[in-house]
Amino acid sequence: MSVQAWLPAGGQDGLVRLAEVAAPDPGPDQALVAVEAFSVNRGETLLLERPRPGHRPGKDVAGTVVRAAADGSGPAPGTRVVGHPPYGGWSTLVPVATGDLAVLPPSLPATVAAALPLAGLTALRLVRRAGSLAGRRLLVTGASGGVGHYVVELAAAAGAEVTAISASAERGERLLVLGAAEVRADLPAQGRPFDVVMESVGGEHLRAALALLREEGLLLWFGQAGRRPATLDFFEFWNGPVQATITHFDYTRGDRSYGEDLATLVHLVATGRLHPELGVVRPWTETPEVIAMLRGRQIRGNAVLTLPPARLDHERTTDHVA
């Protein structure tokens, strides 16, 4: 039995190719999910340039459980879920650890749920890492991407005064609706300092953003979207904000699985308190085109690909998932 999946092109034209691969063999704590929609993140597309041997892209999926975990944990067959597997999500079927799944309410479409995992988890954990934000000034660089939209809305709801940096005025308009107090094209040259900076561009942005911190402020560095290494002159840092802290943030660190936080994100969306920004929703056959758009920064928010229902019906009725 085989399934279809997008794989690294391996030197062929483009970055991905659609191929037949062996059907997944779930581990005892993994449910088998028929994928209805998946999200493509820009960082994932960069990994396709020099993929590791055997790499299978895809970390954000939503769909239906077609085989429950053998150890009895997790949802039953027929349950709609959102999940965050470590790889392999750009496929018709994917095994996901039950601890990394959250059940979806009937009101939440798979297209919306698929935009939650990587970007939503990163934003949720960033806001937690920043501590109490009530009444504090927050600067977010690269704010018009998938993570930035979530950060702005979550932080504003927590009481922060958010300044969002977006290179495109059009892409930044939505951030004002989500609660940003100000949207700028560039970092401010002066003004009141910020309590917290969340930096994701890299290059000169980190150095310039650090200078905008107040004394004992916190800079959370969580990305390098500009693809230029961040550099910092130690003596310049020494003469900057007193006792400032720079922390490299990685949402994957720690012993916690993703299911609990995914359930939190699902609840926030279902109750109207979090609004995923779906910049593009396309059939999964257009995955190469969407990847090109993401790399060209032509998409505001999240990019979601959908699988045809007929294919899902076929996968659900095959012998190996019965």
pLDDT for 66: 97
**Per the structure block, which two tokens stand in for 88?**
């392999």
Cβ-proximal residues to 36 (8 Å cutoff; 6+ apart), any chain: 62, 63, 64, 110, 114, 306, 307, 309, 312
pLDDT for 220: 95
The verdict on 18 and 44 lying in the same domain is: yes
**Local structure of residue 202 (DSSP, 8 states):** B
With respect to residue 268, please indicate whether it lies within any of the assigned structural domains: no
Q: CATH number, domain at 57?
A: 3.90.180.10
Domain boundary among 230, 248, 266: 248
Residue 73 half-sphere exposure toward CB, CA atoms < 13 A: 13
Alpha carbon distances (Å) from 179 to 113, 183, 219, 220, 266: 22, 10, 21, 20, 20
The verdict on 65 and 148 lying in the same domain is: no
Q: CATH number, domain at 160?
A: 3.40.50.720
Range of the domain at 162: 123-248
Count of domains for the chain: 2
With respect to residue 80, please indicate whether it lies within any of the assigned structural domains: yes
The verdict on 242 and 162 lying in the same domain is: yes
Report the amino acid identity of residue 230. A
The verdict on 302 and 237 lying in the same domain is: no
The verdict on 112 and 127 lying in the same domain is: no
Mean pLDDT of all residues belonging to the chain:
89
* pTM > 0.85: yes
The verdict on 127 and 244 lying in the same domain is: yes
With respect to residue 265, please indicate whether it lies within any of the assigned structural domains: no
Band the pLDDT of 12: cuts 50, 70, 90: low
The verdict on 129 and 243 lying in the same domain is: yes
The verdict on 85 and 152 lying in the same domain is: no
Return d(Cα 66, Cα 195) in angstroms, integer: 47
Cβ-proximal residues to 73 (8 Å cutoff; 6+ apart), any chain: 29, 98, 99
Identify the three-state secondary structure at position 267.
helix
Domain boundary among 232, 248, 264: 248
Of residues 1 and 27, the one with the higher pLDDT is 27
The verdict on 160 and 203 lying in the same domain is: yes
Hunting for tokens 């059939």 — which residue is that? 283
With respect to residue 259, please indicate whether it lies within any of the assigned structural domains: no
The verdict on 128 and 230 lying in the same domain is: yes
Q: How many CB atoms lie within 10 A of CB 239?
A: 10
Q: What is the pLDDT of residues 27-77, one digit of tens each?
A: 999 999 999 999 999 889 888 988 889 899 999 999 999 999 999 999 999
Hunting for tokens 């935009």 — which residue is that? 115
